[in-house]
A and B are shown apart, each in its own frame.
Chain A
């Protein structure tokens, strides 16, 4: 097609809403995580998530968006600077190269919400000990050096997209990417003092459930918005997203009931999120009962995945690796079984269970493995360098005092009337 595509008002309306939905996931994530930490660390957790909405947005339009989406469809490794500093990002037309029927500035804003939540996901693994200043520098560098290239490979028509790997809404770009980075950072950071001997159980599970509800709600924008249009694929993605979350919850609870004896609210929340993570790469490519199978498998396997940290002794505090890395891998690989061109003509190789051969599964494996290794390696280097220069971790005293007081000079909860605070 020559010239600029005409902007479709229906598509634009849906993407405006989706942008808001995905942005809302980050405060949702903040409360999901915030409820799971101890009371002295809850503000530190909320702050790291909220701060991503500030810093990541600015870095996104300054340079990262251009590095991710410049040179669109080149089959390469990185974009260019064509869209840096908000250059060539207009509101009146879609973009021909992107085949967009929405204003290009809206596409940039929508993708920005992904750039906000992906680094924020890492905070669950690094809970209670990541120095705030070091965190800020880490996610700034990470967005440019890790997120932007991986987004280019997959979403920007880079080499993984050309290869034939599929990732509807970010199984690799968001979840495997953030999960692998989380593993790298905690290996540099070390364990929380006292882990795993001391009890570090959640201080406010109602927050965690509230956060889960917000995430589930926002995920409709994340997955169905990734259709970039108000069409049947978006509608399929909504249904798939819903069913995978439901099945993930049921799978986790069933297994927990058998293994530990009681179904827990934290298990219900975790299972739903595991299902949502796993359906992310598949959302617009599968149909029928596939999302239920994908959600169930993710829900059950993640119950086991979160036990690995005790076996290997790494402190993945709130199970970012166990849920996002493992859930992302499960979804990316299961797409190799369930992808169906009848659902979405963008599927060029059918999955193993939908009449195809193992070709797609191989591409999915390559995309997942490369993303994992790249993200882990570069994240590890960034974390090491920051650690050498300014220190990645808070002091022992600060850790004992908690993130809220030591990093932000605040406390989250002030109950009771005894004890006094005088102005100084």
Chain B
């Protein structure tokens, strides 16, 4: 099994979710995160005092998939999350050693 993790722009979440559903992916976990990359921050001004907000809001999407689907899922995310502008994010794939479904105790790919 592989864990596919993507950091994407928050407004692309719906597109990514829909594309993954269409490809038959049965589950994913999403959280709101902050970070910085090449995009840089935004400036805020309060009574003349300027602040650079260097951590920007992003969304992290995680899905565990069978080995043979991992590349395809990553590709779906890359296509559906792309705006072509700086700050689109990244996708990476890591190996999952063990997976257990809590309800049934199923193991490995049965638990995906």
A: residues with CB less than 8 A from B are 196, 199, 201-202, 256, 259-262, 264, 266-267, 270, 303, 306-307, 310, 319
Contact = CB atoms under 8 A, between A and B. Distances in A.
27 contacts: A196-B49, A199-B51, A201-B44, A201-B46, A201-B49, A201-B51, A202-B46, A256-B48, A259-B48, A260-B45, A260-B48, A260-B50, A261-B45, A262-B45, A264-B45, A264-B46, A264-B47, A266-B46, A266-B47, A267-B47, A270-B47, A303-B48, A306-B47, A306-B48, A307-B48, A310-B49, A319-B47
Contacts of A259: 48
A303 B51 CA distance: 18
A264 B45 CA distance: 8
Contacts of A267: 47
A312 B51 CA distance: 20
Interface residues of B, number: 8
Contacts, number: 27
A203 to B, nearest CB: 11
Contacts of B48: 256, 259-260, 303, 306-307
Nearest to A302: B47
Contacts of A303: 48
Nearest to A319: B47
Interface string B45-72: 1111111000000000000000000000
Most buried by B among A196, A260, A266, A307: A260
A363 B48 CA distance: 34
A24 to B, nearest CB: 25
Nearest to A306: B47
Contacts of A260: 45, 48, 50
Contacts of A307: 48
7 closest A-B pairs by beta carbon, nearest first, are A199-B51, A201-B46, A260-B45, A306-B47, A266-B46, A201-B51, A266-B47
Interface in B31-46: 44-46
A178 to B, nearest CB: 19
Given A201-B49, A260-B48, A306-B48, 17 more contacts: A196-B49, A199-B51, A201-B44, A201-B46, A201-B51, A202-B46, A260-B50, A262-B45, A264-B45, A264-B46, A264-B47, A266-B46, A266-B47, A267-B47, A270-B47, A303-B48, A306-B47
